[in-house]
Structure 1
């Protein structure tokens, strides 16, 4: 491809994204072109990628829990809607779109409009196609099946409520019959402590969904969970729930009674202590991927995989070899991880790696890709790690010393990294600090959902993984380190190619948010494009579903990105 063609293609892509999928408009110095043709000087253009707004949600709400069934049904949640909304819209919702198959979505579908400020549409779910069926709202009791209500965070024996959550996050549907018309919908509740509800749901012949039973997964056997965020369904059919422990690298504050502003802070740790019937929690029990085994049994069994590292897990996605797992760490100045299991289908033993990136020679966020190499951090088993974690039992706030730590020290981690001294506990219990000490890149800002189309990757028809960077800022946009990009407060979706061994060695921007206007009262990020992408799904034909978690759009949105255009 010659330079002029490359330039025109880049311009066409930018126009398509900023124009919410209009047909090839505004070629440089040329007439508007249908489907990307007739650009500058008469050169035909390849059809530009298309971005279509599929849905909007009520004021204040985040879009979470994007999950597509094998039959093309799309579940998603309305998380923490504004308290100013009238009931029942002021309560979080878990739901599904009825009346369409997302795998058969018309690529020329007309986008749903962005609601006007103050309009009725701004206070409800709006869809370009189909209708949103609420399966449950925060506080619903289902005729007593949940005595304290859907999303209630209860103590370990479910005898008392600790708090009511408005934060449903990850959904996973596990079919219980051959045609996928019945099954169990698992929903994470992103709170401190965390919870997971399970609904028995069924789809009638005419396409409507109903709920017949609801329960909470019992996490007392793994000492509870913390900030249960996004996730995926493993290739062998088990939900993989992410504990987003934002304070994983700040373990020194865990038993600091003055540290009340953290996520979690001391008050949250005390609620965990209530969950544990008075035992002060060990911080090294929280911040992992939790696999829910036996998901269709009367009593699903959670397993915490210490082997996948302790961090602010946003998501883990398992490759078709059932051994390679990619993991994102949400927050500021974070790392990107890969895990390779010792045995396929078993995450209880393996090796953890962290990414080292080399940025292209441009600071343009819309153009700069990054080459990736992988630094080995350590190898371990869950059983080994459980023994090491137990070394920090029995510590509480009475042991806290200002300016010191009751737990693993930075000096221990650096000595391990420099001299290969001690065991590999540091790689798994203090993963971010271990990655930094080993020289990995720890500058990512708000790395969110990561996902693949499993069958497309297995067959090499969609050999890509996508990851959402909610915004490019702070460590990613300063003038030091491995990443030095222009700030983009609206975020970027990156694409990562996968080779035959499911390794990735490069990430490139494909959907770029903005422009950003700090003076805009309602929508600081233009409503014609993405703002702070979070959940991602990859469809069978390579299209990508993008859900927002943003305050830069008055109403959060779901988008369909079509890299092939129309």
Structure 2
């Protein structure tokens, strides 16, 4: 059997087979056999149900991160935090590329890679349905001294001391350095506290083999460091857009609390940021933004934090072909969904931020319920304005902490601004989630992860769609309160959104639904015939979608190819 030809009943999505008629079959999708042709009786052709192919499985304990496709159809991805119990070197995080596979010409009838058996050798390494995984670097690699502290090491701003060794490579972006894309720079985020971004100078030879010639770390000292660098995208003007996933962006009141040990970030993480800064206590309002790495091919790339895109647990931002409209996801529990519209194309330093308000369909069935979206304006600002507002909180540290109070923006300030227009728009950008809630936006999403488009398809109008991963549907999405009231799905959902001619979206609908879920299973609590906790997404040129998992509900995380048109 070629692939896993699952209709969306098997995915918990009901889709009927429909018939396309044509004069003696000439207009059928595959109905070229004339009357009574093999593809459909009397010239009719049955539209294939959407399908999934399992493209890869990763080592035990690891997460799929950094899905990135080049213009030549090559796939980069990472093996994040594999199990410490694995034999070396598989116990170390890896940044790598698939050799011997062209995503743009991937056979729609490709056979699935098998689910590894428990305890097998295959369960301990990366398996692919086609091609082979080439490791370009593992955590700790020094590249003959080019990285003296090692790949993924979090180094202080002065570049004199390693603060920790990360096992968490996340976002990848390849910036080509020549016309045929055989040479360029691979940027990789390291999702830690503090964060980091490495840059590899990589090239592909005539046999299709990739190698690394040089490695460096991007210097973030000019922007006071970074925090939890998660997924991202490459902008239409070829600059990496790194997402700071500040999980506790709305919890600034505990930032300078020495007793706050359980957070993400915790006070210990804040102290490490202080070490990064050479002793200066960090300002919470400097962390939780989209960081654009400008001049990416220069000897010293220049990072710019775009305060204008809001402060939150950014998973990633995707820029539309108008080079002005940006959609942003906020990872975690009871979070929002955001849109930014820049003042000028190609310049994210000024613009207006919006938050989504949801109206759910009249069903709680997660596999069927779509959501209409309207957009509430939060505020307009520039990076320069916001820098001035942020700086006013610079000289606060642990000595200012008072139990039961906050040293930073209060809820009363936010509520007064939302209700009465009191004060400036700093609240929309520095306390984005709390401001969105105060303005009446929906803040019930649970684990909204990667969001992406196919840039060329969206620009031409041939693929006017955007996809977003909801790692799981729980908590505020299933509590029978508020705007979203769905049935729980611990295995997650991928939603699709249409884009109009101005790149606005007003509706999201479920298209791939994970499960069923078996809480009693020792491993693989989510069915291995479908997705579990989707995270990274890529939209291919032909409309297919790559889905990477971040799950403990599959023993081995997987990469899937979803084909909305079937085979």
SS in 1 for 2:214: strand
Matched, 1:357 2:351: no
The Cα of 1:13 is off from its aligned counterpart by: 3.4
Distance in structure 2 (CA, Å) of the matches to 1:171 and 1:205 = 23
Distance in structure 1 (CA, Å) of the matches to 2:155 and 2:377 = 39
- Asked if the contact 2:546–2:562 (Cα under 8 Å) also holds between the matched residues in 1, the reply is yes
1:2-401 → structure 2 map (5 Å cutoff): 13-15=7-9, 17=11, 45-401=46-402
The Cα of 1:18 is off from its aligned counterpart by: 6.9
TM-score between the two structures when normalised by the length of structure 1: 0.94
Distance in structure 1 (CA, Å) of the matches to 2:7 and 2:429 = 41
Matched, 1:506 2:507: yes
- Asked if the contact 1:78–1:94 (Cα under 8 Å) also holds between the matched residues in 2, the reply is yes
Matched, 1:469 2:463: no
The list of structure 1 runs, each at least 4 consecutive aligned residues, that deviate by more than 2 angstroms after superposition, is 11-19, 43-46
- Asked if the contact 1:68–1:537 (Cα under 8 Å) also holds between the matched residues in 2, the reply is yes
The Cα of 1:44 is off from its aligned counterpart by: 7.3
- Asked if the contact 1:200–1:214 (Cα under 8 Å) also holds between the matched residues in 2, the reply is yes
- Asked if the contact 1:193–1:271 (Cα under 8 Å) also holds between the matched residues in 2, the reply is yes
1:554 corresponds in structure 2 to 555
Distance in structure 1 (CA, Å) of the matches to 2:485 and 2:45 = 34
TM-score between the two structures when normalised by the length of structure 2: 0.94
SS in 1 for 2:434: helix
Distance in structure 2 (CA, Å) of the matches to 1:251 and 1:467 = 28
Distance in structure 1 (CA, Å) of the matches to 2:101 and 2:550 = 24
The Cα of 1:14 is off from its aligned counterpart by: 2.2
Unaligned runs of 5+ in 1: 1-10, 25-34
Distance in structure 1 (CA, Å) of the matches to 2:312 and 2:339 = 13
Distance in structure 2 (CA, Å) of the matches to 1:450 and 1:508 = 14
* Pair 206,12 (structure 1): closer, same or farther in 2 beyond 3 Å: closer
- Asked if the contact 1:17–1:49 (Cα under 8 Å) also holds between the matched residues in 2, the reply is no
Deviations 1:421-442 (A, max 9, x none): 1000000000000000000000
1:530 corresponds in structure 2 to 531
- Asked if the contact 1:54–1:127 (Cα under 8 Å) also holds between the matched residues in 2, the reply is yes
The Cα of 1:17 is off from its aligned counterpart by: 3.6
1:431 corresponds in structure 2 to 432
SS in 1 for 2:457: helix
The Cα of 1:404 is off from its aligned counterpart by: 0.5
Distance in structure 1 (CA, Å) of the matches to 2:100 and 2:171 = 22
RMSD of equivalent CA atoms: 1.8
Distance in structure 2 (CA, Å) of the matches to 1:469 and 1:346 = 29
The Cα of 1:100 is off from its aligned counterpart by: 1.3
- Asked if the contact 2:6–2:51 (Cα under 8 Å) also holds between the matched residues in 1, the reply is no
Distance in structure 2 (CA, Å) of the matches to 1:219 and 1:72 = 31
The Cα of 1:130 is off from its aligned counterpart by: 0.2
Distance in structure 1 (CA, Å) of the matches to 2:432 and 2:259 = 25
- Asked if the contact 1:16–1:49 (Cα under 8 Å) also holds between the matched residues in 2, the reply is no
Distance in structure 2 (CA, Å) of the matches to 1:88 and 1:394 = 45
The Cα of 1:141 is off from its aligned counterpart by: 0.2
SS in 1 for 2:308: helix
- Asked if the contact 1:18–1:528 (Cα under 8 Å) also holds between the matched residues in 2, the reply is no
The Cα of 1:413 is off from its aligned counterpart by: 0.2
Distance in structure 1 (CA, Å) of the matches to 2:398 and 2:57 = 45
2:455 corresponds in structure 1 to 454
Deviations 1:437-479 (A, max 9, x none): 0000000000000000000000011110000000000000111
2:541 corresponds in structure 1 to 540
The Cα of 1:38 is off from its aligned counterpart by: 11
SS in 1 for 2:487: coil
- Asked if the contact 1:56–1:558 (Cα under 8 Å) also holds between the matched residues in 2, the reply is yes
Matched, 1:413 2:414: yes
Deviations 1:237-263 (A, max 9, x none): 000000000000000000000111100
Distance in structure 1 (CA, Å) of the matches to 2:203 and 2:228 = 28
Deviations 1:330-382 (A, max 9, x none): 00000000000000000000000000010000000000000000000000000
Deviations 1:470-489 (A, max 9, x none): 00000001110000000000
SS in 2 for 1:14: coil
- Asked if the contact 2:12–2:367 (Cα under 8 Å) also holds between the matched residues in 1, the reply is no
SS in 1 for 2:180: coil
Query: How many residues are paired up?
Result: 541
The Cα of 1:12 is off from its aligned counterpart by: 7.7
Distance in structure 2 (CA, Å) of the matches to 1:420 and 1:339 = 20
Distance in structure 2 (CA, Å) of the matches to 1:537 and 1:38 = 31
Distance in structure 1 (CA, Å) of the matches to 2:405 and 2:11 = 50
Distance in structure 2 (CA, Å) of the matches to 1:365 and 1:359 = 11
Distance in structure 2 (CA, Å) of the matches to 1:240 and 1:198 = 14
- Asked if the contact 2:6–2:52 (Cα under 8 Å) also holds between the matched residues in 1, the reply is no
Distance in structure 2 (CA, Å) of the matches to 1:188 and 1:158 = 17
Distance in structure 2 (CA, Å) of the matches to 1:77 and 1:403 = 42
Distance in structure 2 (CA, Å) of the matches to 1:466 and 1:263 = 27
Distance in structure 2 (CA, Å) of the matches to 1:552 and 1:158 = 39
Distance in structure 2 (CA, Å) of the matches to 1:114 and 1:477 = 31
